[in-house]
């Protein structure tokens, strides 16, 4: 029977077991298809609790090292892994989706009307060919108009088109950093960068946030960021100043200025990704405005009106322009000028603002429903935030809640999707508001979440609603 060597473990035992599984798979001790010991038996062999082994196996499954088969046991996973819950499914899926953050796509502008307008555009055939990797001048001017909604007065000469924000993140990580560099991120951050940065040879350093009087998460702690620069050689920082994903926090001007001060003192480069900014009511300056010499900013249309267009924009200091253009050319040659023209029309004719107004109204109603069913004291967010950060009652495991709801056909994300490996699992879940079209189905999803969490609660909170 396989038994891991954890006698010299430094840190949580469950992580030591998960790390041992990963090491033994990599070194060939465990092979694809091997059956691991039953959890109860392994707990006995190691002299630890069953819950610790359960958590270790769950962490290994999160890393896609293992797969459990009902009634058969747990096996080393094949190379072909399960699809991430963040990836969209085919139309017609009947699951209740509180996991994927699709901000009311049913309220997007009419594609058919947009295509008719596009077809009638004089000289449209010129877009059916190659264009410069940074995009046409007219489309970069569209990007400048969009950046205005992100609190940044952008120069079209410093803008390049990308195939969405994720492509923009990858391009900027490559342009600003070198393999082996360390980049600071929030302790909870956007899942895409957790996956893409290590593949580029970058090390992510999680930096804690300050906490408010109510325990809510605020901005990244500037003192902790400075310490990370001094002690861990951090070369840059990835920030989401407006509607931080997943905590929802919007930085105050003072918080922004404090982080800019650290970046200047430590010589840190800043990547600013703010896909939800146009939803919020606050008017605050972007980092690209506060520290233009240090900041590369990203704007995307995907979360606003058109994920299918796959159009994003990056605005960078002039010194990185050539590198960004080359990296776009090497990865995709260019973003589609056809869809860039399509979304440019929607930005200029008022369709973007019309759609945003409708989405804000819908989100206000959804947030009120979430507060009613899950409790205002447990939800960090607000009526202009298209998701909330749900704090679970003490002792409730977010992974267990996620797994239980998945068996009920409801998707929701545990905090682990937003944390770098090795961190202690936080008792939070992200609840998105805009992926379910029908209001009644959305209410049903919230009720299932509340009921499921209630079943996990023990002690004095058992008789109380989740809120």
Q: 136-150: per-residue pLDDT in tens?
A: 999 999 999 999 999
Sign of CA dihedral 245, 248, 253, 258: negative
CA pair distance 28, 424, nearest whole angstrom: 28
Which H or E run contains 300? strand 295-300
pLDDT for residue 333 is more than 50: yes
pLDDT at site 467: 41
Q: Where are the domains of the chain?
A: 13-76, 96-101+352-463, 111-349
CATH topology of domain 96-101+352-463: 3.90.1150
Average pLDDT value for the chain: 90
Name the CATH code of domain 13-76 (choices 2.30.30.280, 1.10.10.10, 3.20.19.10, 3.40.1190.20): 1.10.10.10
CATH topology of domain 111-349: 3.40.640
**Rama region for 92: left / alpha / beta (φ>0; ψ in -120 to 50; rest):** left
Q: Which of 59-68, 107-116, 162-171, 181-190 has the lowest mean pLDDT?
A: 59-68
Which residue matches tokens 């239980």?
404
pLDDT at site 11: 72
End-to-end CA distance of the chain: 45
- Write out pLDDT tens, residues 238-275: 999 999 999 999 999 999 999 999 999 999 999 999 89
- Write out pLDDT tens, residues 73-106: 898 987 645 556 666 665 545 568 999 999 999 9
pLDDT at site 461: 43
**Rama region for 246: left / alpha / beta (φ>0; ψ in -120 to 50; rest):** alpha
Mean pLDDT (whole number) for 397-407: 86
Residue closest to 14 by CA, chosen among 39, 33, 41: 39
Q: Residue 225: CB partners within 8 Å, gap ≥ 6?
A: 184, 207, 234, 237, 259, 262, 266, 268
Q: Which of 307-311, 320-324, 368-372, 456-460 has the lowest mean pLDDT?
A: 456-460
pLDDT at site 249: 97
Q: Please give the share of the chain, as a percent, with pLDDT higher than 90.
A: 73
pLDDT at site 84: 64
Tell me which DSSP letter residue 276 carries. T
Binned at pLDDT 50, 70 and 90, residue 212 comes out as: very high
Q: Which of 166-170, 279-283, 305-309, 369-373 has the lowest mean pLDDT?
A: 279-283
Sign of CA dihedral 170, 176, 178, 184: negative
Pair 241, 272: CB distance under 8 Å: yes
- Write out pLDDT tens, residues 100-134: 999 999 999 999 999 999 999 999 999 999 999 99
pLDDT for residue 464 is more than 50: no
Mean pLDDT (whole number) for 367-386: 96
CA pair distance 112, 108, nearest whole angstrom: 11
Which H or E run contains 343? helix 337-348
pLDDT at site 133: 97
pLDDT at site 413: 94
Binned at pLDDT 50, 70 and 90, residue 466 comes out as: very low
Binned at pLDDT 50, 70 and 90, residue 9 comes out as: low
pLDDT at site 404: 86
CA pair distance 132, 64, nearest whole angstrom: 39
CA pair distance 139, 150, nearest whole angstrom: 17
- Write out pLDDT tens, residues 288-308: 999 999 999 999 999 899 999
pLDDT at site 83: 54
Binned at pLDDT 50, 70 and 90, residue 462 comes out as: very low
CA pair distance 100, 97, nearest whole angstrom: 6
Q: Residue 361: CB partners within 8 Å, gap ≥ 6?
A: none
Mean pLDDT (whole number) for 406-426: 87
pLDDT at site 408: 83
CA pair distance 298, 164, nearest whole angstrom: 9
- Write out pLDDT tens, residues 36-63: 999 999 999 999 999 999 989 988 887 7
- Write out pLDDT tens, residues 336-358: 999 999 999 999 999 999 999 99
pLDDT at site 460: 39
Cβ–Cβ contacts within 10 Å for residue 44, how many? 13
């Amino acid at each position: 029977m396989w038994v891991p060597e954890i006698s010299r473990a430094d840190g949580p035992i469950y992580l030591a077991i998960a790390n041992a599984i990963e090491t033994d798979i990599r070194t060939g001790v465990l092979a694809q298809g091997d059956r691991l010991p039953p959890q109860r038996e392994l707990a006995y062999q190691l002299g630890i609790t069953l819950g610790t082994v359960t958590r270790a196996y769950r962490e290994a499954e999160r890393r896609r090292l293992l797969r459990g088969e009902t009634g058969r046991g747990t096996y080393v996973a094949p190379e072909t892994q399960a699809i991430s819950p963040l990836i969209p499914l085919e139309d017609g899926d009947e699951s209740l989706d509180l996991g994927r953050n699709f901000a009311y796509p049913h309220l997007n502008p009419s594609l058919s009307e947009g295509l008719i307008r596009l077809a009638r555009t004089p000289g449209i055939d010129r877009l059916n060919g190659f264009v410069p990797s940074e995009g046409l001048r007219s489309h970069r001017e569209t990007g400048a108009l969009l950046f205005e909604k992100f609190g940044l007065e952008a120069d079209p000469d410093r803008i390049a088109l990308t195939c969405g924000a994720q492509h923009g993140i990858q391009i900027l990580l490559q342009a600003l950093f070198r393999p082996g560099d360390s980049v600071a991120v929030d302790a909870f951050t956007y899942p895409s960068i957790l996956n893409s940065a290590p593949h580029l040879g970058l090390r992510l350093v999680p930096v804690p946030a300050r906490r408010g009087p109510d325990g809510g998460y605020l901005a990244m702690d500037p003192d902790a960021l400075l310490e990370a620069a001094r002690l861990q050689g951090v070369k840059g920082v990835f920030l989401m100043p407006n509607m931080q994903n997943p905590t929802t926090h919007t930085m105050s001007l003072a918080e922004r200025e404090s982080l800019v001060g650290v970046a200047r003192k430590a010589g840190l480069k800043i990547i600013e990704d703010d896909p939800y900014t146009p939803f919020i009511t606050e008017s605050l300056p972007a980092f690209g405005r506060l520290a233009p010499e240090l900041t590369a900013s990203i704007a995307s249309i995907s979360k606003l009106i058109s994920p299918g267009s796959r159009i994003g924009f990056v605005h960078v200091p002039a010194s990185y322009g050539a590198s960004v253009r080359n990296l776009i050319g090497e990865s995709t040659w260019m973003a589609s000028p056809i869809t860039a023209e399509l979304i440019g029309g929607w930005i200029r004719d008022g369709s973007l603002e019309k759609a945003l107004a409708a989405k804000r109204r819908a989100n206000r109603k959804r947030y009120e429903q979430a507060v009613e069913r899950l409790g205002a004291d447990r939800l960090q967010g607000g009526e202009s935030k298209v998701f909330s950060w749900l704090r679970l009652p003490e002792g409730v495991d977010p992974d267990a809640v996620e797994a239980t709801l998945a068996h009920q056909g409801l998707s929701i994300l545990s905090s682990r999707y937003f944390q770098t490996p090795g961190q202690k699992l936080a008792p939070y879940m992200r609840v998105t508001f805009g992926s379910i079209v029908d209001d009644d189905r959305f209410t049903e999803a919230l009720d299932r979440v509340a009921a499921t969490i209630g079943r996990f609660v023990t002690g004095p909170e058992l008789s109380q609603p989740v809120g």
